[in-house]
Structure 1
Amino acid sequence: MAVDQGRAGRPLTLTEQARRAQLIRVTIDLVAAHGYAGTSLARIAEAAEISKAAVLYHFPSKDAVVRAAYGTVIEQLTARVGGAVEPHTGAAALRAYIHSLIAYLRGSPAHARMIIEAISAESGVTDSPNAPSRWQSVAALIDGAKAAGDYRAEPASRITAVIINGAIDAVVAEQLADPGFDSARAAAAIVDLVDRALAVGR
């Protein structure tokens, strides 16, 4: 397991690790509430009840904190969704992916907003909504369902993956705009549409 390194290149003490984790939590909440532009080092310091200089001891810039916060969110999301998908194979794995991803972002709206803000702003985060890795990971699940005999060979997996990602993004955006929106039902609808379009014998 990798050991966190401080700015001086040495392993972080337990106290430093705790402070960095606090700053990351605070940054996620601030970016979710005020957006990237509305989050400053001074605001992060105030929320953490420390000085701006103390924040800079751990992170050299606002963007560095935002990137660390984004990385934490993606790590947690990946662990949750990966854990939901791992027990399944074939079409069931893709269904688990769709349901678990939407459920995670429904239950963690601050994380959803953090992701959107980080990839939309000039924060130095290199991910984007159109990154090849996004459709490739979903296409791999579709290919697995095809190999299992659950889905037909056509249409191309990339095309289907892009469509599925677009549908998921739309559901998450609607959930953020309207907390009363039934995103769980929407996830089921996406799964049903995919099954109707791709399932063998349908």
Structure 2
Amino acid sequence: MASRRDDRSADTLTFTERARRKQLIECTIDLISTRGYPATSLAAIAEHAGLSKAAVLYHFASKDNLTQAALAQVLEEFTAYVSERVAAESDPRAAVVAYVRAMVGYQQANRRHVRVITEMLLDDGGGTRLKTPGSHDTAGRWQALAELLAAGQRAGRFRPFDPTVVSLAVGGAIDGVISHWLAHPDLDLDAAADELVAFTLHAIEPRTP
């Protein structure tokens, strides 16, 4: 059953309603990033926000609706950050470098968001934590990078290769570095970003005889 607000667009909500929804989304991000998705209940969110559970349900019909709104906000901010930095570059090589650095830089500066993404999009082995349709579509996750690589090929800047395969390889390397950093925060992510850029350029630039 939908709440009174779930089926309304954001521009029809009052200032107070928008502020309350934003507060609940931020509380949800906090809890998922610190406690994990399974422990983030509606009761826990309500307590963290200083509200009743009924007040939470007034704005979001269920935990799933609220956590999906939190994930959507995280992904929207992440995508906007990367897109803005890529769009600032007109050269294909510089755009790819900007993409790799932005992917690492955003996650370095937004550890909470990384936790939300890993908690909600990555399988825990039992398949119970997958809440987003198509979350296992790994190629789709890296489609923007594949398009940048294909554009560079059309411009004659990159060697012939399958953009999807290379985007998966580069994306997997980024995921691997971030995963290690989450477990070992002492990892120098700035140095890691330099290595990821070198790895990517070695994979895509023309090979010298």
Could you state the TM-score of these two structures normalised by the residue count of structure 2? Answer: 0.88
Tell me how many residue pairs correspond in the alignment.
197
Give the stretch that moved more between structures: 123-132 or 14-23.
Answer: 123-132
Q: CA deviation at 1:148?
A: 2.3
SS at match of 1:39: coil
Could you tell me which amino acid in structure 2 is paired with residue 48 of structure 1? A
Q: CA deviation at 1:185?
A: 1.3
Percent identity for Structure 1 against Structure 2: 38
Q: Structure 1 stretches of 5 or more lacking a match? A: none
SS at match of 2:51: coil
Q: Residue 166 of structure 1 aligns with which residue?
A: 172
Could you tell me which amino acid in structure 2 is paired with residue 80 of structure 1? Y
Q: Structure 2 stretches of 5 or more lacking a match? A: 123-127
- Which residue among 176, 179, 191 is the counterpart of 1:185? 191
SS at match of 2:5: coil
SS at match of 1:103: helix
Give the stretch that moved more between structures: 48-57 or 184-193.
Answer: 184-193
Query: How far, CA to CA, are the matches of 1:134 and 1:7 in structure 2?
Result: 27
RMSD of aligned Cα (Å): 1.7
Give the stretch that moved more between structures: 19-28 or 176-185.
Answer: 176-185
Q: 1:1-202, aligned counterparts within 5 Å?
A: 6-7=5-6, 9=8, 11-88=12-89, 89-120=91-122, 122=129, 124-153=131-160, 155-202=161-208
Could you tell me which amino acid in structure 1 is paired with residue 202 of structure 2? R
Q: Is the 8 A contact 1:119 1:126 kept in 2?
A: no
Q: Is the 8 A contact 1:29 1:110 kept in 2?
A: yes
Q: CA deviation at 1:129?
A: 4.7
Query: How far, CA to CA, are the matches of 1:32 and 1:110 in structure 2?
Result: 5
Q: What do the CA deviations read for 1:142-166 (whole angstroms, capped 9, x no partner)? A: 111212222101x211110110110
Q: 1:110 to 1:200 in 2, by over 3 A?
A: same
Query: How far, CA to CA, are the matches of 2:17 and 2:58 in structure 1?
Result: 10
Q: Is the 8 A contact 1:119 1:127 kept in 2?
A: no
Query: How far, CA to CA, are the matches of 2:144 and 2:114 in structure 1?
Result: 19
Could you state the TM-score of these two structures normalised by the residue count of structure 1? Answer: 0.91
Q: CA deviation at 1:8?
A: 5.7
